[in-house]
Structure 1
Amino acid sequence: MLDIKDFSIFDNQPSFDFKGLLLKILGYWKWFVICIALGLIIAYQINIRKEKIYAMQTMISIKEESNPFFTSNTSLVFNWGGTSDQVSSTSTILQSRSHNELVVDKLQFYIDYLSQGKYKMVDAYGSVPFSISIDKIKGQLVNQVIGIKFINASEYEIRIPFEANSVSLVNYTDNSYSNTAVAVGDFVKRYKVGDRVSLPFLDWKLQINDKPGFYTGNEYYVRLNDFDGTVSRYRNINVNVDAKAGSILTLSLQGTNKARMVEYLNATVKMLIKNQLDSKNQFATNTISFIDSTLVAMEKQLKTTGNELKTFRKDKNIFDIEEGGAKFSDKMLDFDVERDQITRKVAYYNSLKSYLKNSVDYSKLPAPSVAGIEDPNIAANVSKLIALSTQRSEMAYAVKSDKIFKDFDNQMAAVKNVLLENINSAKSSLQYDLALINGKIGQAESTIKRLPDEQQELLKIKRKYDLSDNIYNTFLQKRSEADIVKAANLSDIHFIDPAKDIGGGLIGPKTSVNYVLAIFLGILIPLLFVFIIFFINNSIQNTEDINKLTQIPLIGVIGLNEEKTTLAVFEKPKSAMSESFRAIRSSLQFLYKKKQLDGAKTLMITSSVSGEGKTFCSINIATVFALSEKKTVILGLDLRKPRLAEEFGIENKDGIVNYLIKQKSLQEITNKTVIPHLDVILSGPVPPNPSELIISEGMNELMEELKKKYDYIILDTPPVGLVSDSLELVQFADTTIYVVRQNYTKKDMIMLLNTRIRRGELENVSILLNGFENKAKYGSAYGSAYGYGYGTYGYSYNDNQEVKSTIADRLKKIFKK
């Protein structure tokens, strides 16, 4: 029946050992050095292979420019709603797809010019001695590197490596794709500079630039890219508004080629200026178009009435006829002109009203002044409506937010409603004016009817001619005004600092960041490794571990044996290890004295499992007793796996087993050693029943004989954690040393030792810490250093198996001093 004291759950549980962790980290300093060195080497290789990154920028200002020829009579210009609105619109346009498509197409930036760098191909735009002009309506080989090698100043060679029997082609007029068949392998062909290259997959002309420098024999590369993909890259242009001056914008690009970025930044601003000026001139352009169509009609009408007047005057005394109606001619002209003006205004209002109700694009509206309308409300609202409509159409390519479009639609709807109200009010007033002038014309015509028929006919023809001539001259004047206004318009966007390569501009790569990251990872990776080892390693690390786990006293600490011999004390008696064993001898003598033992003293040395060094400790403890001129004997009581014979170089022929079965006497099994006063009794042949032999009466007889002959009897026993033989030998031992080994003995074995002591299976026990290293590394080569290993105990005590080193053991051998 088990006693409650048998349960190890009542032992003190170990707490976190920060000191042990720190010592373990310091013990792996070589790992940290190697990982940091490797990280720095990798970071260096990455840094030298990275292309340098530059930043180029240009600065523009947005200032609302008024036309110096603008008057209330022309009214052919409009603004965009103020500077703040223009800044927002400009930022959006610069990043819009439609705007960047125009710039990329103009610069043909979908063509890459490359050269072979030290590690890879680099962008050589601006430094190659040639340029390519492609035929956009023909399919061009896309995303394929094309080699160009100059044979001489006027001849070059094209080399294209085809890896498949089909290649993709792009047509840059509509960005459509197609495929064409090719022969697998290198396509090589020579051409003259300036000659057209006409192939099923390529159509271009190569021209040498001005001042190309020396280029004969050099090799360059060209790559035609996807148009939409190229545009997408340039839409990432960075637009920043100056915090102190809200009308100033800074445009910047980052890349590997400064010449390409400088040209693109300047080109995108120039394109913006052109488009903005075209939009600003839209009102004047619409007006000029309307006037031109009106002038054509008036010119035709004027020609018809002129011919009619010429025919009437033929064969007549025109002076007599004109004299009679001259006083009515000027008066009727004034009335007709006034009525035409009113009629044109009404017609404009009717047309504008119909346009507002039936159309959604208001960018084509002509200026109200073309019909003689000077109402500032009408002119301002028409101008605003055109501006809103123009902005909305431009933003359709850059903005995907329905809310923004709804805001524009709401604003235009509000302006339309105001305009419709203005139109209704203005038309009412014009209808009244038209009625008045029609009345005056009616009175004048009644008077004219009293004149002779010929005079009436002449006045009728002349009225039509004079009216057409007056309208024609009026529209000619308005067209001239519109041309002046259009020519005098200025863009609201101005360069402050055009982009320019003045040296510098380097912003990357951040080599220091890579080095810092390399050092960080060089520390982190081995640190994680040490953490994993520390937390999964359940073995004894130091004396603090022993003190936390048990109340059993610690009799001594033995360092790691760096030599290949087991006779450490005998061969190096002045070493630190020898002094450690002498200290243990002193402690044992104190224990024997405390127990008031007389005569021979016995010492049993055991451990939890094999490989912890109990045989090594047995030999050297026996040696220090023998060197003090005490007759000492070591008994090899590990009958299952004897090791003493190997350590002393003696054949394990006769031993304890022979004595216990009455084959040999004590004198016959006792062996002298090279160490004075030290004898050794081997275990002898491996018996089939080791436990039964140990508990036999022969064992008692053996111990009695030994006590008569020796001062100290050292019992080298099997591991107590694996077999029960050692427990049977406790009765013969005055004191027991329990050997634990750093980085080898599991902490659970100490718990088992506590349980055995509670149950009285072991008595007078002291612990010896063996194989101790201050750096507390994981694992050791202890077994191989001592020339033996008990690793097989943990698997099968009765089977002879070759000891296999663990991965940790192998790693330690690599980094061991």
Structure 2
Amino acid sequence: MDNSFNNFSLPEEDSIDIKQEIIRYIRYWPWFAVTLAVTLISAYMYLRYAPRVYQTYSKIKILDESEGLELPTSAFIFKRKNINLENEIEILTSYLIMNRVVRELNLNTNFYEEGTIQTSQIESLPFGFKQIIHPDSIRERLSYKLKIKDTGMDITNLKTEKVFSFSGSTTRDSDYNLPFEIDLNVNKTKSDFVGNTYILNFNTIKSTALSLKSNIKVESIGELSDLLKLTIKGESKELSEKILNTLMEVFDKDGIYDRQLISKRTLDFIDDRFVFLAQELDSIEVGRQDFKQRNNIVDIAVDAGLGLEQRAQSDEQVFQIEQQLALSKLLDTSLNTNSESDLLPANIGIENSSINQLISDYNNAVIDRNKYLSSGGANNPMVKQAVEQVENLKANINRSIGTYSKQLENSRQQFSLRNRRFSGTVAQIPEKEKLLRAIDRQQKIKESLYLLLLQKREEAAINLAITEPSIKVVEYALSGSNPVSPKSNIVYAAAILGGLLIPFGILYLIFMLDTKLHSKEDVTKINSNIPVIGEIPDVKKKEHIIFDDPNARTALAESFRILSSNVDYILPIKDDGKGKVIYCTSTIKGEGKTYVSVNLSLALSSINKKVLLIGADLRNPQIHTHIHEEKHKPGLSNYLHDANYDWRDALINGFDKHPNHQIILSGVIPPNPAHLLTNGRFKKLIEEAKEEYDYIIVDTAPTILVTDTMLISQLADATIYLARANYTEKNLLKFSKDLTETGKLKNVAYVINSVGASRSYGYSYNYGYNYGYGTKD
């Protein structure tokens, strides 16, 4: 018969077995059920008591100031808007605009109605409320709780916990210096509010404006649209609608104000000038009246018309004479200061024909002289004659001007005497008439300026009155009938998802961080070349861990019967009729090698096989604990140490129902187990036992820290290597793999102990194997 199990192997899995992973998680279905129930109940409680938040929206169209005033441009042709909506959005959500909205609606004062479980925000108190403190005086958050009782009302400062009690229905006459007044009888009677509790919060203007700025969302409806959509979320639909409507109004007024600023400044300037001009006109009128009263002037023009006319004629004649004198003087100056080559001005207004003729002759003579000088020398007779002629004419002009000036001077003296004769006629026209005319002139100037400013003021007022709005309201604030938060479908979906993901995540972390093996699959993934010949179930009760009844039908008994059957498949076939030697070992302490050794030997004994169980773990013997014998009872160590000691003297019949089962305990713990196991007597024991027994089961020491098992491994026909579910580290299996591949262990097969064990393991051997290890296996 061929040993098929020696060549048994499983292919290594490179991919994840989805079915196996699903089953792995389904095993913990109570976790999922409990978590799902908790999350669904939590979702229900949240939806039952969470505040309802509603969304309010409005739409506006930004008006283009240049619309209708300019010729079509490329922007118009290609339907590109001239309005920068990004700028408008920034202005609309600016702190300045929000500050104005907060002040206009007094949003820094909030009201809440406190229910049994839920506290909800309300637009305003249902009774009389008057805020005394100025909004700018609020430097920090103030909170008050108002509780209405049959006997009055209590107001609690939530910051200081100080309670103010009022016996009546109003706080108006109190001396508590509260920042507000309450009157319960303004809209309804006090009995309508008994038992109700309200919260009053006073915030700073800045914090409220910043909160409003973050709560309002403004976005463009379309790429080519001039429409903006304003949205806000809040518990009170009425308050949200007021906020959006006020925001649109404030924004519209802000844009109008910017365009009206020039007109307003013009009006302000004109109004200031009106005050000044009115004062000046009043002063001029009063001064003119006083002047005429002091001088008894009624109508100067009628009283002295004739005298003024005569004097005017005389003045005109004197003026003409003085004009001729001035011209004569100018001509004389020009004649005597000019060089010989310069000409005299002609026809300058002198009313003397002889002088004008002399000037004309003189200019002709100068021209002739200049021509002769340019063509002949200075000694040329023609030149000399021309020069002499110029000098003669010049002398004649001088004499004529002198004579004419004397005549004019005489005439002026005569007219001056004549004017003095007219002085009696105009004596009634005082010099102050000039002042009166100056007063009249100033009055006319001020009146004309006043009328001009009045006209400009009307023009500016018209421009101010017809200023177009900044926006067009497409839709005033509207609130949805259904709350946007919380949404039951999303909350329940999140609860279901969370109820599944939370345990899944926890289990995933547990599995990911779990380095212990749990099943046969974990072993075959690491070492597929070594067969797994048995899986021992976990036993919760320690009193049922021994297969002491050959006829038992428990799961434990059946698992060891299966193991005893599978062991035969890995044992080599021999025709010598000698017994088979089976080692039971493990990597570390606590994996159950002694437990499996005892039960495997009992399972083989239950099928009428003679079985010898040898306790070869000389460092930490544990077989005695299962048969209630003394730990230091003579056994294997005594035989190995004493050449005269017969191993048959150490045989024990530990189980009454198994007459074919015998045990050799480990004996006294020696100081040098490795030396004793290699002195040849252990091999002799095995050879002799094989002649008398069908199976020799050897409980050996763990392999990771001591070499005891490797020293005697060649005596075994098969080696059962124990691994314990939920206890053995996966990386320890690599050690057993190396032992097998290097030939240090012979004919190895795995047995997995405590399959299906929980974290409590049901039992434990406390084997934490150290060199010179502990007390129990």
**Scaled by the length of structure 2, what TM-score is found?**
0.66
| Aligned partner of residue 97 in structure 2, secondary structure | helix
Kept in 2, the 8 Å contact 1:241–1:248? The answer is yes
Structure-2 residue corresponding to 1:148: 146
Kept in 1, the 8 Å contact 2:636–2:647? The answer is no
Kept in 2, the 8 Å contact 1:556–1:580? The answer is no
| Aligned partner of residue 193 in structure 2, secondary structure | coil
Kept in 2, the 8 Å contact 1:291–1:475? The answer is yes
Kept in 2, the 8 Å contact 1:197–1:203? The answer is no
In the TM superposition, what are the counterparts of 1:129-140 in structure 2 within 5 Å? 129-136=127-134
Q: In structure 2, which of residues 569, 577, 582 is the aligned counterpart of residue 598 of structure 1? A: 577
Kept in 2, the 8 Å contact 1:100–1:234? The answer is yes
In the TM superposition, what are the counterparts of 1:499-510 in structure 2 within 5 Å? 499-501=477-479, 504=481, 506-510=483-487
**What is the deviation of 1:228?**
1.1
In the TM superposition, what are the counterparts of 1:120-519 in structure 2 within 5 Å? 121-136=119-134, 142-151=140-149, 156-161=153-158, 163=160, 186=163, 188=165, 193=170, 195=172, 199=176, 202-207=178-183, 211-212=187-188, 214-236=192-214, 237-243=216-222, 246-300=225-279, 303=282, 308=288, 316=298, 469=447, 472-473=450-451, 475-501=453-479, 504=481, 506-510=483-487
1:673 aligns with 2:650: no
Flag the 1:680–1:282 CA change in 2: closer, same or farther, 3 A: same
Structure-2 residue corresponding to 1:810: none
Structure-1 residue corresponding to 2:605: 626
Kept in 1, the 8 Å contact 2:586–2:721? The answer is yes
Structure-1 residue corresponding to 2:414: none
Q: In structure 1, which of residues 755, 764, 769 is the aligned counterpart of residue 751 of structure 2? A: 769
**What is the deviation of 1:695?**
4.8
**What is the deviation of 1:712?**
2.6
Flag the 1:315–1:250 CA change in 2: closer, same or farther, 3 A: same
Structure-1 residue corresponding to 2:538: 561
Structure-1 residue corresponding to 2:774: 799
Counterpart CA distance in 1 for 2:715 and 2:453 is: 136
In the TM superposition, what are the counterparts of 1:721-732 in structure 2 within 5 Å? 721-730=704-713, 732=715
Structure-1 residue corresponding to 2:665: 683
Counterpart CA distance in 2 for 1:158 and 1:580 is: 77
Counterpart CA distance in 1 for 2:26 and 2:753 is: 18
Flag the 1:264–1:590 CA change in 2: closer, same or farther, 3 A: closer
RMSD between aligned alpha carbons?
A: 4.7
Counterpart CA distance in 2 for 1:244 and 1:592 is: 84
Counterpart CA distance in 2 for 1:235 and 1:594 is: 89
**What is the deviation of 1:551?**
7.3
Flag the 1:628–1:274 CA change in 2: closer, same or farther, 3 A: closer
Kept in 2, the 8 Å contact 1:602–1:714? The answer is yes
Kept in 2, the 8 Å contact 1:569–1:577? The answer is no
Kept in 2, the 8 Å contact 1:128–1:220? The answer is no
Kept in 1, the 8 Å contact 2:560–2:599? The answer is yes
Gaps of 5+ in 2: 1-9, 70-79, 308-424
- Structure 2 letter corresponding to 1:270: E
Flag the 1:693–1:100 CA change in 2: closer, same or farther, 3 A: closer
Deviates more, 1:529-538 or 1:488-497: 529-538
Counterpart CA distance in 2 for 1:225 and 1:676 is: 89
| Aligned partner of residue 635 in structure 1, secondary structure | strand
- Structure 2 letter corresponding to 1:259: E
Kept in 1, the 8 Å contact 2:101–2:247? The answer is yes
Structure-1 residue corresponding to 2:339: none
Kept in 1, the 8 Å contact 2:149–2:195? The answer is yes
| Aligned partner of residue 477 in structure 2, secondary structure | coil
| Aligned partner of residue 508 in structure 1, secondary structure | coil
| Aligned partner of residue 752 in structure 2, secondary structure | strand
Counterpart CA distance in 2 for 1:152 and 1:550 is: 83
Counterpart CA distance in 1 for 2:506 and 2:11 is: 25
1:741 aligns with 2:718: no
Kept in 1, the 8 Å contact 2:59–2:230? The answer is yes
Kept in 2, the 8 Å contact 1:162–1:186? The answer is no
Counterpart CA distance in 1 for 2:735 and 2:15 is: 21
Structure-2 residue corresponding to 1:96: 94
Kept in 2, the 8 Å contact 1:284–1:482? The answer is yes
Counterpart CA distance in 2 for 1:548 and 1:511 is: 46
**What is the deviation of 1:767?**
0.7
Kept in 1, the 8 Å contact 2:141–2:202? The answer is yes
Kept in 2, the 8 Å contact 1:614–1:739? The answer is yes
Counterpart CA distance in 2 for 1:609 and 1:152 is: 79
**What is the deviation of 1:538?**
4.7
**What is the deviation of 1:108?**
1.9
Kept in 2, the 8 Å contact 1:659–1:669? The answer is no
Structure-2 residue corresponding to 1:59: 59
**What is the deviation of 1:702?**
4.6
| Aligned partner of residue 723 in structure 2, secondary structure | strand
Deviates more, 1:522-531 or 1:706-715: 522-531
Counterpart CA distance in 1 for 2:638 and 2:66 is: 124
Kept in 2, the 8 Å contact 1:552–1:766? The answer is no
Counterpart CA distance in 2 for 1:799 and 1:712 is: 29
| Aligned partner of residue 597 in structure 2, secondary structure | helix
Flag the 1:675–1:781 CA change in 2: closer, same or farther, 3 A: farther
Counterpart CA distance in 2 for 1:66 and 1:752 is: 87
Q: In structure 1, which of residues 711, 717, 723 is the aligned counterpart of residue 700 of structure 2? A: 717
- Structure 2 letter corresponding to 1:609: I
| C-alpha distance after superposition, 1:684-729 (max 9, x if no partner) | 6433345555456664665455444433332233334444443454
Deviates more, 1:284-293 or 1:455-464: 455-464
Counterpart CA distance in 2 for 1:13 and 1:31 is: 34
**What is the deviation of 1:102?**
2.5
| Aligned partner of residue 774 in structure 2, secondary structure | coil
Q: In structure 2, which of residues 572, 589, 607 is the aligned counterpart of residue 610 of structure 1? A: 589
**Scaled by the length of structure 1, what TM-score is found?**
0.63
- Structure 2 letter corresponding to 1:714: I
Equivalenced residue count is 622
Flag the 1:145–1:591 CA change in 2: closer, same or farther, 3 A: closer
Structure-1 residue corresponding to 2:394: none
Percent identity between the two aligned chains: 23
**What is the deviation of 1:253?**
1.9
- Structure 1 letter corresponding to 2:266: T
**What is the deviation of 1:671?**
1.0
Counterpart CA distance in 2 for 1:464 and 1:141 is: 59
In the TM superposition, what are the counterparts of 1:38-49 in structure 2 within 5 Å? 38-40=38-40
- Structure 2 letter corresponding to 1:234: L
Structure-1 residue corresponding to 2:393: none
Kept in 2, the 8 Å contact 1:57–1:251? The answer is yes
| Aligned partner of residue 498 in structure 1, secondary structure | strand
Counterpart CA distance in 2 for 1:120 and 1:596 is: 88
Deviates more, 1:191-200 or 1:630-639: 191-200
| C-alpha distance after superposition, 1:329-358 (max 9, x if no partner) | xxxxxxxxxxxxxxxxxxxxxxxxxxxxxx
